[in-house]
Amino acid sequence: MPPKPTKRATKKTTAKKTTPKKSAKKKAAAKPLPANRTPNAKPLPAPPTGHGVAKLEIKPERIQSILKILHETYPDVECALVHTSPWQLLVATILSAQCTDARVNMVTPRLFATYPTPQAMAKAPIESIEELIRTTGFYHNKAKSIQGAGRVISEDFGGKVPETMAELLTIPGAARKTANVVLGVAYGKAEGVVVDTHVFRVSRRLGLTRSETPQAVEQDLMKVIPQDRWIQFSHELIHHGRQICEARKPKCAACPLEQLCHAPDKTWHS
């Protein structure tokens, strides 16, 4: 007998009902905008490499607006370096190069307890000074500077930190930035503008200068900022740079100066 034909298996295809997938996460509620923001304000695309240098904008009315906002935002700002004398301020400022003020404030209490006067610092073993300031970085050079500062102040200025720019610049480790800090904070004398890394960056972003060295930036700022604001302006810009106008990613959405700023590396535009 011939074999019976085999039946081919047939698959029944049934249409699957598709149901919309539920989102695993609920949509986050929109955060309220800061008071000085408009609803159509948008974050900008990723900023270009490097810090922004804005077009120069030094009209007197714009300068006054910037100064007014800074003063209202940071009304009681002061030097962040803890000190009780011009000598301690001088040493702390020298140590603050390439180092945070917070770190300096951790180091100086023990340093000043061990070597409290310029004379004591001048006679201190260099290895001992280095060990006490090691965590501030570049401690070999800084130890030489503050020991040399102690010696010059002891021998040439009778143990008292001088009160003029010309004399301060003869002290080891005291360039114009350090001299301006001591004159402004310790003696209330405005002979220049303190230009640290924050002042350098923020003043260029704000279009107050386009110069490329701290010395040139200081000269530019002295021309456009009233002299009676030099000391406080530096403190305000330093704090603004730390809290808002950061180097890598400025917090433009929270910046009270945002509408006056046209820096190319802004992260927010209203």
Query: Which residues are tagged catalytic?
Result: 177, 196
Residue type, 38: T
Q: What is the 3 state secondary structure string of the chain?
A: CCCCCCCCCCCCCCCCCCCCCCCCCCCCCCCCCCCCCCCCCEECCCCCCCCCCCCCCCCHHHHHHHHHHHHHHCCCCCCCCCCCCHHHHHHHHHHCCCCCHHHHHHHHHHHHHHCCCHHHHHHCCHHHHHHHHHHHCCHHHHHHHHHHHHHHHHHHCCCCCCCCHHHHCCCCCCCHHHHHHHHHHHHCCCCCCCCCHHHHHHHHHCCCCCCCCHHHHHHHHHHHCCHHHHHHHHHHHHHHHHHCCCCCCCCHHHCCCHHHCCCCCCCEEC
Burial class (CB in 10 A: 0-12, 13-18, 19+), 84: exposed
